[in-house]
Amino acid sequence: MKTIPLRPLIREDFAPFGDVIEAEGAYHFAINGGMAERYHDLALVELAGDKARPMISLARGEPYALPLTLTFVERHPLGSQAFFPLSPYPFLVVVAPDSGGTAGEPLAFVTGPGQGINIRRNVWHGILTPLEGVSDFVIVDRGGEGNNLEEFHYPAPFLIADTAG
Amino acid sequence: MKTIPLRPLIREDFAPFGDVIEAEGAYHFAINGGMAERYHDLALVELAGDKARPMISLARGEPYALPLTLTFVERHPLGSQAFFPLSPYPFLVVVAPDSGGTAGEPLAFVTGPGQGINIRRNVWHGILTPLEGVSDFVIVDRGGEGNNLEEFHYPAPFLIADTAG
């Protein structure tokens, strides 16, 4: 089984797949007479198809243990999907380039404190994968009509592992 | 100066002004083979006017002390505005009914753990007001063209105070 190493979540590295939502390094300005700072417009929310609208949801996820066997990825043809953590634990962000309508070899990012993500429309990605502890998230994704889910099952699974350990 | 007492943030009480975003009491379903629970579609995101689009931002706010003197409120004619806290502290949610195009007497809600809010389009509200400590938030509001801000300055200020103390 091919091993996919973990890599830190860095805005530039993640850019082909979506946005890293974090205050660090982001455009910001003061609001409310200087009592607050706004880190502005950090994600491209994509809403395609009939009756498309943004939705705000919450999720609570059980943690996964590493190493983890990855057998499939999914994508949403009609909208982006943002996850921002409410818990102090990291989460795993698996994404994969498209390869002629199927998913290529995955990449595995691990979030640091204060980092969320927005996965672009039609980008192959893994399911929500908290690490270390039960984790809550804010989700911003698309509501509307039409089929917004495709799955791709890899012919051979990958092992996602902390190869530095 | 008239005193406005604090009240707990309860979904039914806040309904005329917007949504309480919280898992407690919300419609939910299992995802990812039962590893996570999704608390689904908790806020009505409103996007009016030219080139309207949803934006995801972060904010970090200095805390305010109570009692607090409220001199003005604002509203956004073109979009809703959601705030979800990333910090363990409560925040103050001031809203006011409309009274012929100006703001009526305000109400002052205080959030509990795990509670965010979505203020409806055109609802008079106070600025972001963290209590007790420096607080971070996820914000989902509207980007686009047009004037999306109105302010109303009360002819006489109100005192927002914890009258139970």
Question: Taking CB atoms and an 8 Å cutoff, what residues of chain A touch B127?
Answer: 31-32, 35-36
Report which DSSP code applies to B120. Answer: P
Average pLDDT value for chain B: 97
pLDDT at A147: 96
Closest-CA distance of chain B to residue A99, Å: 24
Instruction: Tell me if A56 and B26 make a contact (CB, 8 A cut-off).
Output: no
CA–centroid distance for B145 within its chain: 22
Phi, psi of A92 (to 5 degrees): -90, 135
pLDDT at A163: 84
Torsion of CA A90, A154, A82, B17, to 10 degrees: -110
**pLDDT single digits (tens) A70-88:** 999 999 999 999 999 999 9
pLDDT at A75: 98
Q: How does DSSP assign A105-156, residue by residue? A: S-EEEE--TT-EEEEPTT-EEPPPEEBSS-EEEEEEEEESSS---EEEEEEE
pLDDT at A165: 53
Structure tokens at B70: 């409220």
Top residue of B19, B28, B57, B86 to mutate, by most chain A CBs within 10 Å, is B57
Instruction: Tell me if A22 and B86 make a contact (CB, 8 A cut-off).
Output: no
Strand partners, A143: A53
Closest C-alpha among B130, B84, B90 to residue B110:
B90
Asked if A60 reaches chain B (Cβ–Cβ under 8 Å), the answer is: yes
Whether ipTM exceeds 0.90: yes
B106 close to B10: Cβ distance less than 8 angstroms: no
B107 close to B4: Cβ distance less than 8 angstroms: yes
- Determine if the peptide bond prior to B67 is cis (ω within 30°): yes
Query: What is the arithmetic mean of pLDDT over A8-13?
Result: 98
pLDDT at A16: 98
Closest-CA distance of chain A to residue B49, Å: 15
Q: Is A33 left (phi over 0), alpha (psi -120 to 50) or beta?
A: left
Q: How does DSSP assign A32-94, residue by residue? A: GGGTEEEE---S---B-STT-EEEEEEEEE--BPSSEEEEEEEE-TTB-EEEEE-SSS-EEEE
Asked if B53 reaches chain A (Cβ–Cβ under 8 Å), the answer is: yes
pLDDT over threshold 80, residue B164: no
pLDDT at B19: 98
pLDDT at B64: 98
B29 close to B40: Cβ distance less than 8 angstroms: yes
Distances (CA, A) of B94 to A12, A30, B46, B135: 39, 21, 20, 17
Smallest CA–CA distance from A80 into chain B, residue: B54
Closest C-alpha among A100, A82, A68, A76 to residue A139:
A82
In whole angstroms, what is the distance from residue B122 CA to residue B80 CA?
8
Smallest CA–CA distance from A58 into chain B, residue: B39
pLDDT at B163: 84
In whole angstroms, what is the distance from residue B141 CA to residue B48 CA?
11
pLDDT at B23: 98
Asked if B52 reaches chain A (Cβ–Cβ under 8 Å), the answer is: no
Question: Taking CB atoms and an 8 Å cutoff, what residues of chain A touch B140?
Answer: 54, 56, 140
**pLDDT single digits (tens) B103-148:** 999 999 999 999 999 999 999 999 999 999 999 999 999 999 999 9
Query: What is the arithmetic mean of pLDDT over B67-72?
Result: 98
**pLDDT single digits (tens) A95-133:** 999 999 999 999 999 999 999 999 999 999 999 999 999
Smallest CA–CA distance from B32 into chain A, residue: A127
CATH class (in words) of the domain with range B2-161? mainly beta
In whole angstroms, what is the distance from residue B55 CA to residue B32 CA?
27
**Residue boundaries of the structural domains of chain A:** 2-161
**pLDDT single digits (tens) A29-48:** 999 999 999 999 999 999 99
**pLDDT single digits (tens) A49-73:** 999 999 999 999 999 999 999 999 9
Query: What is the arithmetic mean of pLDDT over B72-79?
Result: 98
A48 close to B67: Cβ distance less than 8 angstroms: no
